[in-house]
């Protein structure tokens, strides 16, 4: 590394430190101004009044609410290519394209999130210019789909922890490059209920893994790194408050178990392998129920942990497609399943609409279009993204 880059890296790391709060005992508290903004759930652990502030490994943001990356290497790069979104910090004007984003909504399939984009457009009264239509901003990645509707991003995350993890790394970096302030991430999906009938909407209050541990473990450089899988409690309450007593289904708050697998990991009897009995399965599901688990899916732990680590408020709203205590396979007709999948979208749309109306940020026109600032680099980004087949 050159001397210039070494100096720049030192300067960046200095800016990314936990601010002067670590040395606050050496200065006058009355004159101390912290440059870092902590999420609400971390403020309770702060001992600023006693002259010391606990930062340990908790996520932080800059004082203006913008996302603060935990990676000093990004600033040293000539261009940061978001391979799986077909975007780049040097090829696209990311501030122009995404700077007004407030909500990032994620779901499994491209079609579901395209439908959600059109649904939220109608709900918030967003208008497209005559002769235009919503475009898939990440169409050249061939992996995820992304639609922008005013201050809302609707993105597909694929299936399982690896897929949602890759997407979150790049979307969090996108928020950073676009200088988005205080974004809110919401996963809108489907799940299996544990003692809940199909069609029930579940707002996750906590995410646990298959061993009922409330954190996400990932091996990094041969060492296991553990990150708390925390969701924003206030956001959970605010979304739940918008459930309507007249809705023809129940909306509940509960613990969500996240697995690495659809079959054995969830105790199904219909996989290619099954080396346990139905009695074993039922004992396990009843154990989950007693521990407070109300649904099972495959993304919650990674989603909660990575957003929390980035200091981003997040929530998960899913609909149950079946009660796992009564079977393993979907029995409801396709039309019924499609109607059920709209239920969490409707609840999230209520929250977004209410928020925008309250904050006065209701966008009524414009659409998510490309803003290329370097055609040469834009072509390079397309080629690099396609190379990741």
Instruction: Let me know: does 183 contact 175? Beta carbons within 8 Å.
Output: yes
How far apart CA 193 and CA 35 sit, in angstroms, is 43
190 marked as part of a ligand binding site? yes
Which structure tokens are listed for 148? Answer: 């922008």
Q: How many CB atoms lie within 10 A of CB 368?
A: 22
**Which helix (H) or strand (E) element contains residue 192?**
strand 184-193
In angstroms, the CA 188 to CA 167 distance is 15
**Contact criterion met (CB below 8 Å) for 302 and 258:** yes
Name which of 310, 55, 17 is nearest 173 in CA terms.
310
Q: What is the DSSP string of 112-161?
A: HHHHHHHHHHHHTT-BPPTT-----TTTTTSS--EEEETTEEEEE--SSH
Whole-angstrom Cα distance, residue 70 to residue 227?
14
Whether 160 has a binding-site annotation, put simply, is: no
324 annotated ligand-binding residue: no
| 79 appears as a binding residue in the annotation | no
Please name the residues in contact with 223: beta carbons below 8 A apart, sequence gap of 6 or more.
Answer: none
Q: Rounded to an integer, what distance in angstroms lies between the CA atom of residue 149 and that of residue 125?
A: 10
143 is in an annotated binding site: yes
Known binding positions: 143, 187-190, 266, 268
Q: What are the binding residues for substrate?
A: 266, 268
**Residues annotated in a binding site for phosphate:** 143, 187-190
């Amino acid at each position: 590394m050159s001397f210039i880059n070494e100096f720049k890296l030192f300067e960046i790391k200095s800016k990314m430190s936990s601010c002067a709060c670590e040395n606050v005992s050496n200065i006058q508290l009355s004159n101390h101004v912290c440059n870092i903004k902590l999420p609400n759930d971390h403020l309770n652990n702060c001992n600023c009044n006693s002259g010391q502030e606990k930062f340990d490994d908790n996520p932080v943001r800059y004082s203006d609410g913008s996302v603060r990356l935990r990676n000093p290497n990004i600033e040293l790069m000539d261009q940061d290519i978001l391979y799986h979104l077909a975007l780049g910090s040097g090829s696209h004007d990311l501030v122009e394209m995404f700077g007004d984003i407030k909500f990032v909504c994620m779901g499994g399939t491209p079609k579901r999130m395209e439908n959600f984009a059109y649904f939220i457009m109608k709900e918030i009264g967003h208008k497209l210019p005559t002769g235009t239509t919503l475009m898939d901003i990440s169409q050249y990645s061939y992996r995820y789909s992304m639609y922008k509707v005013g201050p809302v991003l609707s993105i597909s995350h694929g299936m399982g922890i690896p897929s949602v993890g890759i997407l979150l790394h790049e979307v969090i970096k996108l928020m950073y490059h676009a200088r988005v302030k205080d974004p809110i991430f919401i996963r809108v999906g489907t799940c299996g209920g544990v003692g809940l009938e199909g069609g029930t909407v579940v707002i996750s209050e906590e995410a646990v893994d298959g061993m009922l541990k409330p954190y996400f473990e990932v091996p990094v450089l041969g060492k296991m790194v553990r990150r708390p899988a925390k969701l924003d409690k206030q956001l959970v309450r605010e979304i739940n408050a918008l459930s309507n007593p007249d809705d023809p289904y129940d909306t509940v708050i509960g613990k969500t178990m996240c697995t690495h697998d659809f079959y054995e990991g969830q105790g199904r009897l219909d996989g290619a392998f099954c080396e346990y009995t139905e009695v074993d399965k039922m004992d396990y599901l009843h154990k989950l129920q007693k521990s407070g688990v109300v649904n099972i899916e495959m993304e919650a732990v990674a989603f909660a942990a990575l957003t929390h680590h980035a200091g981003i408020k997040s929530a998960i709203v899913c609909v149950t497609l079946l009660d796992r205590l009564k079977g393993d396979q979907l029995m409801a007709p396709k039309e019924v399943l499609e109607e059920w999948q709209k239920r969490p979208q409707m609840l999230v749309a209520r929250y977004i609409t209410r928020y925008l109306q309250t904050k006065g940020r209701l966008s009524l026109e414009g659409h998510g279009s490309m803003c290329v600032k370097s055609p040469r680099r834009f072509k390079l980004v397309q080629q690099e993204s396609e190379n990741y087949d």
